[in-house]
Amino acid sequence: MIVNRIADMALTLGILTIFYTFQTTEFNVVFGVAPYLSEARILFFGFDLAALSVCAALLFIGAMGKSAQIGLHT
């Protein structure tokens, strides 16, 4: 149950990061604009990181936790 909540938080933060970066959550707009924002930076928990990498990592962690991958299943 704890892993599920962590995955929910990561998924939520990933979606919010996408909205913060692209000002939308529509896939066709996000994928169309992504090449132009490849150099976009975001301040995430005090670290200056590439915005697309943060979005991808958070969505990946969220999807892994929600699907109970090895290492995250209980």
Q: Where are the domains of the chain?
A: 2-66
Per-residue model confidence as pLDDT tens digits over 11-61: 999 999 999 999 999 999 999 999 998 899 998 788 899 999 999 999 999
pLDDT score recorded for residue 55: 93
**DSSP structure class, residue 43:** E
- Say if residue 73's pLDDT is above 70: no
> Tokens 């958070």 — which residue?
58
Closest to 30 measured CA to CA, from 8, 4, 56: 56
Contacts of 64 (CB under 8 A, 6+ apart): 7, 72
pLDDT score recorded for residue 50: 92
pLDDT score recorded for residue 2: 72
Residues in the chain: 74
Cα 36 → chain centroid? 18
Contacts of 50 (CB under 8 A, 6+ apart): 38, 39, 40, 41, 42
